[in-house]
Chain A
Amino acid sequence: MAFSIEEIYETARMILFEKLDIRTTTLGINIKDCIHSNFSRFQKNVYKKIIKYGRALVKHAKEIEIKYGIPIVNKRISITPITLVMEPHATREKYISMAKTIDIAAKEAEIDYIGGFGALVQKGTTEAEKILIDCIPDVISSTQRVCCFLNAGTTSTGLNMDVVKLMGDMLIKTARNTSNGIGCTRFVIFVNAPEDNPFMAGAFHGPGEPETSLNIGISGPGAVRSVVEKNRDCDLTELSEIIKRTVFKITRAGELVGREMAEKIGVSFGIVDISLAPTPLPGDSVAEIVEAFGIEKIGAPGSTLAIALLMDAVKKGGAMASGNIGGLSGTFIPVSEDSGMADAVASKALSIEKLEAFTSVCSVGLDMIAIPGDTPPDTISAIIADELAIGIINNKTTAVRIIPVPGKKAGEKVNFGGLLGEMPVMAVNKFSSAKFIKRGGRLPSPVISLRN
């Protein structure tokens, strides 16, 4: 046999017992060619294009699942940022109507989520973008699968604080419009947003992307945790090597699936995102990897270094495995979606401030964090501002997906259902930032952006 039985068993075991899967196959499609002066024709063009590619994606994903015995959990589509195509039709009614069209198309094509209903506003906002930001709560409450995003800053342009200032009120309105504030799980605000990110809610098909591009997100926290647990006494240098080897293997599986799917659908292959995306299932947790390092609960002193080491090893293993690493490629710490993270919050080991520290060494933001429903809007904007500042200054992507849960206080449990998971509502610092946030304006780009 060309492979030893140990090698064959290792692959089977990763999938069967350690929950290795392809977390998402996200097909980015350009919809600029759908624009029409007649709005119903425009909607029809968008609808047809989503259906055509969506159905092909779902069909071939099923074939590849069978061929390789590896689950492909989510099938998603990302589109051109909507404001870029809606400028001539930018009214509240038309935005909502377009969102509903996209939602119906996604449902009919059996697409889980469709991303891109957002705007690139890092340097300022156009009139069309202002209208979009104003109607995001209604877009979310009138759809089920449409995801919204804003890119509010980049290291080279600075941070658009006029947009960040609006976020507190916008998120509270979005939360009130939906049960348990769940609508907020479909909105992400970024800085340095990648144009090829396959993960929701922030995926969009950037203006620099080709006509179509298939991007893959893999999920292997269980496989990584398993090798860490088997090596309880080795030093950190050796641990890093062990993680690299495992991540190399799981990234190669992602690369194989991505290339083959792109070929079958007849689109270009984009990237493999090597983020370690967890799920609420036992064993599929990033927190549990850190705890297997020897930290009692994630959030305890040492956790920031542990996360830094983990992600560095993941990047090194992933970069060796694929020449097409892209997207976010950091550790995901969506608190409610990771049962170990939610446990750490419940036992008061993990705070928003410690999560913020993690994002300075590796992870991509404050993700899936429930906060009290009565948190003042300015405080929400200020939490976002702090997180985005880390991205701007460190020349990396950071993002915030935060849910002010109506009627819930810190410590009360909230369940978002399914893969979105559950968690205790996290406490928020009580001191006010209102006067600071009220200033607005733009955080100038940092001196590290002057590279020419």
Chain B
Amino acid sequence: MKKELVFITVIGKDKKGIVARISTALFKKNINIEDITQKIIKDNFIMAMLVDIKDANCPMEMIVKDLEKIGRQMGLIIQVQHENIFKMMHRI
């Protein structure tokens, strides 16, 4: 079955446990992490995580809600977006 790829962008201050918290939440939802990259851009810690949600055990709305909740608890902004928007905006 074709992959359903989604980017999770985390913006804020680097701290312990970010990857652990997010990956635990994803594991519980049966979501596979395909790739992770991170960088400091203008004093902001940015992490982008590419995940495949095709086998997820809950709808995307729930994934977004739970990740946003983790973001609030950890003082981070977490944005979840289907890869199509990046394909459209950054590739011709």
B35 near A: Cβ within 8 Å?
yes
Contact A11 B38 (CB under 8 A): no
Known: A2-B86, A8-B86, A256-B88. 8 other contacts (CB 8 A): A1-B35, A2-B87, A5-B41, A9-B41, A16-B11, A66-B64, A69-B85, A70-B81
State A15–B80 Cα separation when bound (angstroms): 11
A3-B86, A68-B82 in contact; A8/B38 too (CB < 8 A)? no
A67 near B: Cβ within 8 Å?
yes
Which 4 A-B pairs give the minimum distances between C-beta atoms? A252-B88, A69-B81, A12-B9, A249-B89
**Interfacial residues of chain B within 24-62, with CB under 8 A of chain A in the complex:** 35, 37-39, 41, 46, 48, 50, 60-61
A386 near B: Cβ within 8 Å?
no
A1-B50, A5-B38, A66-B61 in contact; A16/B85 too (CB < 8 A)? no
A66-B60, A66-B64 in contact; A7/B46 too (CB < 8 A)? no
State A9–B46 Cα separation when bound (angstroms): 7
0/1 string, B7-18, CB within 8 A of A gives 1? 101010000000
Instruction: Report chain B residues within 8 Å CB of A256.
Output: 84-85, 88
0/1 string, B60-91, CB within 8 A of A gives 1? 11001000000000000101111111111110
Partner of A67, one of B37, B50, B82: B82
A70-B85, A253-B85, A256-B85 in contact; A5/B60 too (CB < 8 A)? no
Closest residue of chain B to A257, judged by CB? B85
State A66–B88 Cα separation when bound (angstroms): 17
- Counting contact residues on chain B (CB < 8 A from A), the size range is 20 to 34
**Interfacial residues of chain A within 225-271, with CB under 8 A of chain B in the complex:** 249-250, 252-253, 255-256, 260
**Using a Cβ–Cβ cut-off of 8 Å, how many residues does chain A contribute to the interface with B?**
25
Contact A253 B9 (CB under 8 A): no
A127 near B: Cβ within 8 Å?
no
CB distance from A196 to the nearest CB of B (A): 21
State A68–B11 Cα separation when bound (angstroms): 17
Partner of B77, one of A11, A16, A249: A16
0/1 string, A157-170, CB within 8 A of B gives 1? 00000000000000
0/1 string, A1-33, CB within 8 A of B gives 1? 111011111111001100000000000000000
A1-B50, A16-B77, A66-B61 in contact; A9/B85 too (CB < 8 A)? no
Closest residue of chain A to B48, judged by CB? A8
CB distance from B48 to the nearest CB of A (A): 4
Listed A/B pairs (19) with beta-carbon separation below 8 Å: A2-B86, A3-B86, A5-B37, A5-B39, A5-B48, A8-B48, A8-B86, A9-B11, A9-B46, A10-B90, A11-B85, A16-B11, A16-B77, A66-B60, A69-B64, A69-B81, A70-B85, A249-B90, A256-B88
A5-B38, A12-B11 in contact; A69/B79 too (CB < 8 A)? yes
Instruction: Report chain A residues within 8 Å CB of B79.
Output: 12, 15-16, 69
Instruction: Report chain B residues within 8 Å CB of A16.
Output: 11, 77, 79
Q: Is chain B's binding surface mostly helix, strand, loop or mixed?
A: strand
A5-B48, A7-B86, A255-B88 in contact; A12/B39 too (CB < 8 A)? no
Instruction: Report chain B residues within 8 Å CB of A7.
Output: 86, 89-90
Contact A1 B60 (CB under 8 A): no
Closest residue of chain A to B60, judged by CB? A66
State A15–B86 Cα separation when bound (angstroms): 13
State A267–B87 Cα separation when bound (angstroms): 24
CB distance from A108 to the nearest CB of B (A): 23
Instruction: Report chain B residues within 8 Å CB of A2.
Output: 83, 86-87
Instruction: Report chain A residues within 8 Å CB of B50.
Output: 1
State A12–B80 Cα separation when bound (angstroms): 9
Contact B37 A12 (CB under 8 A): no
State A260–B77 Cα separation when bound (angstroms): 26
Contact B61 A8 (CB under 8 A): no
Closest residue of chain A to B85, judged by CB? A68
Closest residue of chain B to A259, judged by CB? B88
Considering residues A8, A9, A250, A256, which has the most beta carbons from chain B within 10 angstroms of its beta carbon? A8
State A16–B44 Cα separation when bound (angstroms): 14
**Interfacial residues of chain A within 192-209, with CB under 8 A of chain B in the complex:** none
Instruction: Report chain A residues within 8 Å CB of B64.
Output: 66, 69
CB distance from A220 to the nearest CB of B (A): 12
Contact B81 A12 (CB under 8 A): yes
Instruction: Report chain A residues within 8 Å CB of B35.
Output: 1
CB distance from B50 to the nearest CB of A (A): 6
CB distance from A15 to the nearest CB of B (A): 7
Contact B88 A9 (CB under 8 A): no
State A18–B83 Cα separation when bound (angstroms): 20
Contact B82 A11 (CB under 8 A): no
CB distance from B86 to the nearest CB of A (A): 5
